[in-house]
Amino acid sequence: MSIFLLVVTGLALPGFQQNPPVVPWLHQEHGLTEAQVGSLLVRELRCAACHTDLDVSRRPPLPGPDLNGVGARIAPNFLERYIADPAGTQPGTRMPALLDDLTPADRAEAARALTEYLISASRSTFDVDPPERVERAEQEQPESGARLYHSVGCVACHGPRDMTGAEPFVDSAPNDWIALDHVPHKYSPSSLAEFLFQPLHVRPAGRMPDMLLSRSEAHAISDYLLGPAQVEAAHWAARPELVARGRELFGALRCNACHALEGAPALDASPPLDASSQGRALDRTRGCLASEVSGAPRYGLASDQRAALRAALGGASDSPTEPDRDGGAAAVDEVAETLTAFNCIACHARGPNGGVAAAVDAYFQTTQPELGDEARIPPTLSLAGAKLQGDWVRKVLFDAARVRPYMLTRMPQFGETNLAHLPAALLVADADGLAPYPMVIPEEPAARTARVAGRELLGLTGLGCVSCHDFNGTPTPGFRGIDLITTPERLQPRWFVAFMIAPTRFRPGIVMPESWPGGVAVHQRLLDGDTDAQLRAIWYFLSQGRSAEDPAGIRPEPSQLHVEGSARVYRGRSAVAGFRGVAVGFPEGVHYAFDAGCGSLTAIWRGDFVSVRWDGQGAGDFRPLAKVIELPRDVAFARLDAASTPWPRRPVLEGTNPVNPDPRYPRQHGYTFRGYQLDAASIPTLLYACGATEIEDRTEVAERSGRQVLRRVLRLTSVAEDGPLYMRLLTGDFEARADRQFVTSELLVSLPPEGKVVNRPAMGEGPPELLLELALSPGTTTLVFDYEPLD
Amino acid sequence: MNRLIDRARLGALTLLLGAGVLPTCAAAQELGSMWGTESREREAYRLVKLPVPEGLVLEAGAFVTLPDGRIAVGTRRGDVYLSSGVDDEKPEPTFTLFATGLDEIFGLAERDGALYVTQSCEVTRVTDSDADGRADRFETISDAWGYANYHEYAFGSKFDAEGNLYVALGLSQSYYSQELFRGWALKVTPDGRTVPIASGLRSPAGIGPNEHGALFVIESQGPWNSSCSLKAIVPGGFMGHPASFNWYPYAPELGAAPASPRSGSSVLAERELIPELVPYAVIFPYIRMGRSITGFTVDTTEGRFGPFAGQMFLGDFSLSLLMRATTEQIDGVWQGACYPFREGLSTGILNVHFTPEGRLLAGGTNRGWPVRGTAPFALERLEWTGVTPFEILRIGITPNGFEVTFTKPLDPTLGRDPASYSIQTFTHEYHAGYGGPEIDQTTPSVESVTLSEDGKRATLKLSEVKVGHVHAFDLAALRSRDAETLVHRHAYYTVNRVPHPQPVEPSPRWLTFTGGAGPGAGKHIVLIAAEQEYRSEQSLPMLARLLAARHGFDTTVLFALNEDGLVDPTLKTRPEDPTVLHDIPGLEALESADLLVLFSRFMSLPPDQLRHFYTYLDSGKPLIGLRTANHGFIEFDYSKDGERVRFGEDVLGGAFRGHHGRWHQDSTRGILVDSERDHPILHGVEDIWGPSDVYRTFAVGGQLPEGCTALVLGQPLVGRSHGDAIESTLEPLPVAWTKTWTGNEGKAARVFQCTMGSARDFESAGLRRLVVNAAYWCLGLDELISTSSSVEIVGEYAPLASGFDYEALGVVPRAPAYYGGGAER
C-alpha cells in the first residue's frame, strides 16, 4: 500500500499552524551558498527516505530517532498528539506531518493506532513519577540543573531559559533556537535524564550530541527542564486490532525509512517517489515543496527553506548538485557543511563564519577569567587542520579528550560514525594554510644544549611560560593555562612555530605575550637569540614527555598524609624504620614507626604525621614531619644464651654493591612478621613472633600523670618453656629516672612490673643497653609500656 | 620497567619519528604515534576513558575481578579500590577505598573472600573481618625475600589451579642482587611455604600463565637482555641474568648455581653449556615493539573481545600502547610471536585485565620514566566495536617455515605470491652490557606459499629458518579479499627451535598433523579411516588433530580413496560387488608408525598394500581397533605358525557377531568395569555414551577370549538419547578391552579394541578420553596419562549420522583436505 492510497481520499485541511522545522544553524553565519544549504536540508529533512533517487551517499546515513522502547520513553498522550500533528505539538520538529489529508476522525484513529502499536512494541511502559525524583529534587541544589544548562553548552542550540526552565528568554531568542517548551509534556524525569545521559542511543544521528553529562548531571538538567509540572499519565491498554492497524500504517507511511523499530514491517523495496524510475522529472513546485502542501508529507517549510531546497535540487538535474571540484576545495566545502550541519559553528568560529552568538555569549564561562576569552570561548577552527595532529582531532571528536579544564562549556561527542570523515577533511582543507616547518633533529651534544635551553626558556628565568601554564600535570601557582607537555601530542610543528611568533595573528586579544615579535627573539642570551633554535629547543624539550625535567618555577608539592578522626597505617620505606617500615599516625598528633623487618618500634614523634613523595620511580617512601626520637632498629626480641651475650645486630651494608652478608637476619633470631589487625578506630595491633612466642603489639595514645604518652601493650603467648626472652628497649645514653623508669634526652620509658631489668654497659663495640629479661611460662603475659616524648 | 632511560635516546626517537614526516600535513599526524596506525585501530577497538573522581589518584598496578563482579584495583600508591560500573556503556565507575597504606601494589589475586596483595615488601592476605566494607586484617603470607632498594619491585601472579601464587623479584637498582632472592621467581604454596623456583630475572614487570597455562614472566631490556621479552619460567631454570646466582645456597633444593654465561655469546650457544638457561620465548624488538613491556593477561572472553581469543595481551609503559603475543612449545622449548595491537593510550601502561563483559582494562601512571602518554595516570577501557580488523592473527612455526593465519581471507593472487611476504631476521648478542643492537641480519627467501581454501592461512616455505633469530614479518603487500591493507603489517617471531619434520610427507591423498607441545612429542600415530557406515572419515581426522595439538603426537590419517582420489565411503564392498578392489594410499607410513589406529570395514586391498599390515603385525608395535575394525578386511591372508590368522578374533580379541540392541535405534552407555577402575586407560574417564548400538563379539553365554581384559561394558539403552532408559532385557557386554598380540617375530604388542566409535559417539568426551588414554597406554606411556589433560575437540567437528543412505545423510566423496580443516594449534 502506498501513501497515496491512504491519503488520496482525504481532504487537505488548511489552518494548521505553520511551524517550520528549526534547523539551528540556518540563521548563523555559516557562509554556505543557498544550494549548499539546500543540499544540507535534503539530508537533514531526510528527503532521500522516500526520494530514493536523490544521491546522498557521500555522507554517513542519517537515521531518525530509534523507536525501540519509545513507549517507555515518551508519554503516550504526547506521542499520539505528536503523530497527528508533529509541528503543532513540538514546534520546530523535523518530522513531517503525514496524516494531514485524512479526515479528522480518520486522522485521530490513525494516530491512536500508531501510538498503540509503538507502545505495544516497547518492552516496558511509560512510568510517570519514579518516587526517587522527589527525594532527589530535595537533595540537589535546585539551581544546579539551571547552572549546568547554562554552562555546559545547551544554550548554543536551545537558547537561554528562565530559572524555572519553563520559558525561554524571549528577548534573547532569535527564532531558531530548538524549542523545549514541549519537553514537560513529553518526558518523565527519568526518561528525560536517561535521554540526556546518552542521547546517541535514541538519536544516533548525533544532532543532539552527548554533552558528557554524568548521570547525576543529566538528572539535574532533567529536573530543571521539566519543572514542577507533572506529565500526563494516561494508562493505555493496547487493543490488538488497533495495534495491528498501527503496524500496517507504520509500514504504509514508510515510518521505517527513518526510524528503527524491531519487528516493524520491512521497508517497501520500491518506493513510489523514485522519479527517475517512473520516467519523469521531479517537479520542484509541488508535493513537499508546494507552498500549500497537500497529498504529500508536510514539513511546514519556510519560504527560504523551500528556496534553498529548490536551489539544491537544481533546474535540470534530479540530484542535488555536487560541484565538481578538486580534492582540496571539496574538502573545504565538506568541512564547512559538516561544521554547519552539526552546528559546530554555534560555538566555534572558522574564518569569517560561525562563533558564539551575542545572545548566548554570557553563558560561555570559565574558572580562569584572568586568561581572557581564550579561557571561555571555544577555540577557533580557522586553520585547525594545519594546527592539530590528526590523531588528536580524533581523540577530541571521538574520545572526549580535552586540555582546557577551565572552560565550562563542553566539547560534545557527536558519534564516531557521524563525523568519521571530518578529521581527514580538516587536514586536507587546511593543508596549504601554513608553510611546513621541518623540525631538525639535534644530535648530541647539540641535543643536550637544546634540552637545557628548552627547559630554561620555559622556566621562570627564561620566558616564564610556566607562570601561566600547567606543566607535566603540575599546576602553576597562578594561572592554569593548557598543560605545555601536551604540545607535541596535539599540535603540528608549523602551527606551533607560527603561533609562537605571532600569537595574536591566530588569537586576537590573547593574553599570551609575544616572545619572538616579528621573528626576533626577546630572550637573546639562550641559543644566541636564534628564533628557530629556541623554538626547536622548546619543541624538543616538550617532546620528552613526562620525563622532561621541571622548568624552574614548577615545584611539585610533597604529599602530606593527614590523620583525621581515626588512626592511620602507612607502609613504606623510611630512613627511620627500614624498607619494611610501618608508620602509625594518631589524630592526637603523636606517632610512631615500626620496622616490620625486625619487629622493633624504631621512632616516635609529635606533630604532623608524614610526607610522601609521589614524583619519581621509587616514590612512596615516608618522612616524619617532625624531629623523631629514634630507637634501635635491630631485632627487639631475642633469646640470648646468657644476659652477657652480645645483642644480635643487624648487618650493616657498605660499598657500591653492598651484598647482604646475613640475609636470614632477623629470621635466624626467631623473628617472623605476621601482619596487623585494625580495630574500629583503625588502631593496628601488630602481630609477630619470636620463636615459639606469639606477640600482639598494640600502641595507643594515653595519659599518664596528665601527660600524653604512647601506651604500648604487648601480649606474649608462649606454648612452651623456651628459655628467657630478652627485649631490648634502649641503647646509648640513658639513665634510670625512678623505679622501672628510664630516660634519654628525648624520651621517658616506663617499664611494666613484669620481667627483670638488665641495664648493661657497653660491651665490645656495642652501646650500653637496657634489656628486659622475661621468663615466659606457657600462656599469655601482658606487658604495658609508656613512652613519653620529652619536649 | 626499565630503570635506565637514556633521555637523549628518547629525544632522538621522538624527533626521528617527526623528522621524516613533517613536510606534508597528512604524514604529520604520525608524529607522536608509534606505528601510525591509530586511526585504523580505532575502527575495531574503541578506547574509552574511565572517569576517576576528582582528587582520586589511581596509579593502577594490578587488577582482579571479585566473585561479585567488582574489580579490585591495586595502585602504586598502595591503595586498593573496589570498582563497580566499569562495564557500563557510558561508564561512571565508582571507586570504594578498600585498603590503604600498602607499598607499591603489583599483584592482586582473590581466594575465598580474601585479596592477596603483592606489594614490594611482602604478599599480604587482606580481609574485611568485620564486614564493614573496609579491610582491617593484613596477614603476611610471604616476605621470604630481601628488600633494601626502591627499585626492588615485586610482581605477583593470580593463583594457579593448585592454589600457588608466584612472585617475580627485580634486581637491586636493576643491576645487582644485594638482598636475598633479588632476581628470582618464588612460589608461594597454599600451605604458606615460599619456594624459590628460578633465578636470573633482571627487572620483571608481570608474572602469570601464558595462553596455554604455563608460567611466564615479562622481562625488561637491560643487561643480558638486548630487548624486552616474554620468558617461560621453568622450575630450576636460569632466566638469563647471572647477578642472582649468589642465593643458590639459600635454595638447596635447586642445587649449585648454574655455570656463568659468557658475555658476548648467544642465548642458544650458552644454553648448550648451561642447561638451566631458558631461551627467551618472545622477544619484543626494542622501540619497534615497546621499550618497557609490562603486565600481561590472556583473552578468555571467547570472542567477545574480537578475533584474538586465547591470545596474550600486554602493555608498554614507555610508549603507552598495547600488544599481543602468542606462544607455542617446540621440543619442550617455548617460543612465539608478538604483534602490534593498539596505540594512543593516555599514560604509561602498567597492567591490563579483562572485565567481566570482555573489555580490556588498561591502567598505569607515567611518573619516573619517560612516557609517551601525557596523563599522570589513567584508567582506560578498550572495547571491540564488532568490526573485524584485517590483522595477522597468529604465526606458528613449521619444519621449513611458518604458518601465518589472518583474521580475514587474503586476496588469493597476492596471498599465493611469495613476494607478498617479506621476512628479515636478526638476533641479539647475549651480553652483560645494557641492551643491544639487532645483529646478524639475514633475509631468507620465501620459496613457496600455500593458501588454505578459506584464504585465511598461508603456509610459507622458507629458504632457511634461522634458529636463534627473531623473524620480522612485513606483510604490507598483502590485501584482504576486500582489498584492505593490514592494520599492522609487522609481527615478530622468535625461533628457538624448529619443529622436526613430519614423519610422513604431506600429500593431497592423506592428512598429516604435526605434534605440538605435549607428552606425545616424537611419537607417530597412523590412523586409517576406511569404512562405509560410521563416518570415520570425520572422526579419525578429529582424533588426529586432538592427539597432535593437545598431546604432541605426530599424526597421519590415511583414507580409502576412489579412482578420483576422493575419500569415498560410498564404495561398494565385496559382498555387494565381488569385483571391487579398495585402495588405501600411503600405507608406507606404517613403517614409521609407533601406533596404528584402525577403523576399516570389509576392505579388499591389493596384496602389496596388505603386506604393510602383515609387516606391522610382526613388528610388535601396538594397535587400536575401533568398531568395524574387527571385520575390517576381507581377503586378509596373514598366517602365524602355519595357521591363517583371523584378524578380528585373533588380533583384536573378538569380531562382530551381531547387534546387541536394535541397529540404528538403540544407543550405548559405557559402564566402567569396577575391578579395572585403576587401569591407566580409565583415568579421568567419565560418562561414556554414544548413539550407536552395542556389538556382540562372542557367542551368547560365552565371554571375552582369554587374555582380554574388559575395561568398559556397553549397556544398551532404549532409544538414542543420552538419558534414555536402560534396555533391561539386554545385559551389558564388553565394548572396550585390552590384550596383547604377538606376531611371527615373537614381539608382543599392546592391543586395545573399542567396538563403540561412530562419529557421533565421539562427541562424548568420555569416549575421546578413553581412546586418547588407550593411545598412551599402547605406547607404554601409562605414567604420562593425566586426568587433567585436554580432550577438547580442536577445530570444528560436526559429524554426520551413521548409515548407508548416503544421499539422505549428505555423504559424498570429498578430497582428503576437506577433513583436515579447522585445525588450530
Q: With bands split at pLDDT 50, 70 and 90, how would you rate the model's confidence at B294?
A: very high
Distance from CA of B105 to the nearest CA of A (A): 11
Please name the member of B11, B176, B367 whose beta carbon is closest to the beta carbon of A447.
B11
CA atoms within 13 A on the CB side of B66: 18
Phi, psi of B815 (to 5 degrees): -65, 150
Query: What is the pLDDT of chain A when averaged over all its residues?
Result: 87
Measured CA to CA, the distance from residue B716 to residue B720 in angstroms comes to: 10
pLDDT for the residue B385: 96
Q: Among candidates B96, B81, B165, which has minimal Cα distance to B125?
A: B165
Q: Do B32 and A440 touch (CB under 8 A)?
A: no
Polymer length in residues for chain A:
791
Distance from CA of B140 to the nearest CA of A (A): 5
- Identify the closest residue of chain B to A578 by CA–CA distance: B148
pLDDT per position as a tens digit, A219-254: 999 989 988 777 777 767 778 999 999 999 999 999
pLDDT for the residue B19: 29
Mutation site, B5, B25, B372, interface A, largest A CB count within 10 A: B25
Q: Do B26 and A431 touch (CB under 8 A)?
A: yes
Measured CA to CA, the distance from residue A410 to residue A480 in angstroms comes to: 17
Q: Do A570 and B1 touch (CB under 8 A)?
A: no
Q: Do A573 and B374 touch (CB under 8 A)?
A: no
Lowest mean pLDDT among A285-299, A531-545, B348-362, B619-633: A285-299
Measured CA to CA, the distance from residue B792 to residue B795 in angstroms comes to: 9
Q: Using an 8 Å Cβ cutoff, are A248 and A265 in contact?
A: yes
Mutation site, B367, B372, B382, B387, interface A, largest A CB count within 10 A: B367
For residues B238-245, give the mean pLDDT. 97
Q: With bands split at pLDDT 50, 70 and 90, how would you rate the model's confidence at B258?
A: very high
Q: Which residues does chain B have within 8 Å of residue A665's beta carbon, measured at their own beta carbons?
A: none
For residues B624-631, give the mean pLDDT. 96
What is the ipTM, given to two decimal places?
A: 0.77
Structure-model confidence comparison of residues A34 and B200, the more confident one: B200
Structure-model confidence comparison of residues B500 and B351, the more confident one: B351
For residues A360-373, give the mean pLDDT. 88
Q: Which residues does chain B have within 8 Å of residue A427's beta carbon, measured at their own beta carbons?
A: 25-26, 29
Q: How many CB pairs under 8 A join A and B?
A: 233
- Identify the closest residue of chain B to A490 by CA–CA distance: B32
Structure-model confidence comparison of residues A176 and B320, the more confident one: B320
Q: Which residues does chain A have within 8 Å of residue B29's beta carbon, measured at their own beta carbons?
A: 389-391, 427
Q: With bands split at pLDDT 50, 70 and 90, how would you rate the model's confidence at A134?
A: low
Mutation site, A197, A200, A383, A391, interface B, largest B CB count within 10 A: A391
pLDDT for the residue A12: 39
Please name the member of A394, A395, A543 whose beta carbon is closest to the beta carbon of B11.
A543
Structure-model confidence comparison of residues B397 and A141, the more confident one: B397
Q: Which residues does chain B have within 8 Å of residue A673's beta carbon, measured at their own beta carbons?
A: 122, 140, 143
Q: Do B367 and A197 touch (CB under 8 A)?
A: no
Mutation site, B29, B34, B128, B366, interface A, largest A CB count within 10 A: B29
* Distances, alpha carbon B474 to alpha carbons B374, B443, B487, in Å: 30, 12, 12
Mutation site, B150, B181, B382, interface A, largest A CB count within 10 A: B150
Q: Work out the angle between the directed axes of helices A531-543 and A446-458 (0-180°, nearest 10).
A: 90
For the CA atoms of B657, B661, B666, B670, what is the dihedral angle to 10 degrees? -80
For residues A711-737, give the mean pLDDT. 93
Polymer length in residues for chain B:
825
Measured CA to CA, the distance from residue B131 to residue B127 in angstroms comes to: 9
Distance from CA of B343 to the nearest CA of A (A): 11
For residue B304, pLDDT beyond 70: yes
Please name the member of B15, B101, B137 whose beta carbon is closest to the beta carbon of A439.
B15
Q: With bands split at pLDDT 50, 70 and 90, how would you rate the model's confidence at B10?
A: very low
With the C-alpha atoms ordered B421, B422, B428, B434, is the resulting torsion angle positive or negative? negative
Burial of B330 (0-12, 13-18, 19+ CB in 10 A): buried
pLDDT per position as a tens digit, A385-394: 999 999 999 9
pLDDT per position as a tens digit, B728-782: 889 999 999 999 999 999 999 999 999 999 999 999 999 999 999 999 999 999 9
Mutation site, A396, A544, A546, A564, interface B, largest B CB count within 10 A: A546
Give the H/E segment covering residue A536: helix A531-543
For residue B2, pLDDT beyond 70: no
Please name the member of B51, B147, B374 whose beta carbon is closest to the beta carbon of A580.
B147
Structure-model confidence comparison of residues A657 and B644, the more confident one: B644
Measured CA to CA, the distance from residue A481 to residue A689 in angstroms comes to: 56
For residue B573, pLDDT beyond 60: yes
Q: Among candidates A282, A285, A317, which has minimal Cα distance to A35?
A: A317
Which three three-digit cell numbers place residue A223?
Answer: 529536573
For residues B377-404, give the mean pLDDT. 96
Please name the member of A400, A618, A678 whose beta carbon is closest to the beta carbon of B49.
A400
Lowest mean pLDDT among A255-259, B230-234, B275-279: A255-259
Q: Which residues does chain A have within 8 Å of residue B119's beta carbon, measured at their own beta carbons?
A: 571
Distance from CA of B293 to the nearest CA of A (A): 16
Please name the member of B33, B135, B250 whose beta carbon is closest to the beta carbon of A391.
B33
Distance from CA of A395 to the nearest CA of B (A): 9
For residue B316, pLDDT beyond 90: yes
Structure-model confidence comparison of residues B114 and B54, the more confident one: B114
For residue B4, pLDDT beyond 80: no
Structure-model confidence comparison of residues B27 and B477, the more confident one: B477
For residue A271, pLDDT beyond 70: no
pLDDT for the residue B288: 92
Measured CA to CA, the distance from residue A350 to residue B230 in angstroms comes to: 50
Please name the member of A416, A619, A680 whose beta carbon is closest to the beta carbon of B367.
A619
Please name the member of B22, B47, B89 whose beta carbon is closest to the beta carbon of A437.
B22
pLDDT for the residue A616: 75
* The most confident of A583-592, A655-664, B492-501, by mean pLDDT: A583-592
pLDDT for the residue B18: 29
Lowest mean pLDDT among A6-10, A289-293, A377-381: A6-10
In A85-207, where does DSSP find H-type helix?
A: 86-89, 104-120, 132-139, 144-149, 155-158, 183-186, 189-197, 199-202
Residue by residue, what is the 3-state secondary structure of A435-494?
CCCCCCCCCCCHHHHHHHHHHHHHCCCCCCHHHCECECCECCCCCCECCHHHHHHHECHH
Measured CA to CA, the distance from residue A346 to residue A340 in angstroms comes to: 9
For residue A310, pLDDT beyond 70: yes
For residue A636, pLDDT beyond 80: yes
Question: Which residues make beta-bridge pairs with B13?
Answer: none
Q: Do A579 and B147 touch (CB under 8 A)?
A: yes
Phi, psi of B340 (to 5 degrees): -65, 150
Nearest-5° Cα angle at A391, A388 to A397: 85
For residues A168-183, give the mean pLDDT. 72
DSSP state for residue B646 in the 8-state scheme: P
pLDDT for the residue A282: 64
Q: Work out the angle between the directed axes of helices A132-139 and A215-226 (0-180°, nearest 10).
A: 100
What is the percent of chain A with per-residue pLDDT over 90, rounded to a whole number? Answer: 58
Please name the member of B16, B121, B370 whose beta carbon is closest to the beta carbon of A545.
B370
Distance from CA of A615 to the nearest CA of B (A): 6
Structure-model confidence comparison of residues B461 and B374, the more confident one: B461
pLDDT per position as a tens digit, B187-232: 999 999 999 999 999 999 999 999 999 999 999 999 999 999 999 9
pLDDT per position as a tens digit, B348-376: 999 999 999 999 999 999 777 777 787 88
pLDDT for the residue A328: 78
Q: Quick count: other Cβ atoms within 10 Å of Cβ B26?
A: 12
Distance from CA of B489 to the nearest CA of A (A): 19
Burial of A166 (0-12, 13-18, 19+ CB in 10 A): middle
Lowest mean pLDDT among B4-18, B449-463, B557-571, B603-617: B4-18
Phi, psi of B5 (to 5 degrees): -120, 125
Measured CA to CA, the distance from residue A596 to residue B21 in angstroms comes to: 55
Please name the member of B90, B102, B246 whose beta carbon is closest to the beta carbon of A571.
B102
* Distances, alpha carbon A671 to alpha carbons A221, A595, A602, in Å: 61, 12, 16
Q: Do A489 and B32 touch (CB under 8 A)?
A: yes
* Distances, alpha carbon B275 to alpha carbons A29, A621, B218, B223, B518, in Å: 77, 41, 21, 20, 20
Query: What is the pLDDT of chain B when averaged over all its residues?
Result: 92
For residue B75, pLDDT beyond 60: yes
pLDDT for the residue B588: 96
Place of cell 564547512: A336
Which three three-digit cell numbers place residue B13?
Answer: 626517537
For residues A514-539, give the mean pLDDT. 90
Q: Do A386 and B138 touch (CB under 8 A)?
A: no
Does the N-terminal peptide bond of residue B503 adopt cis geometry, omega within 30 degrees of 0? Answer: no
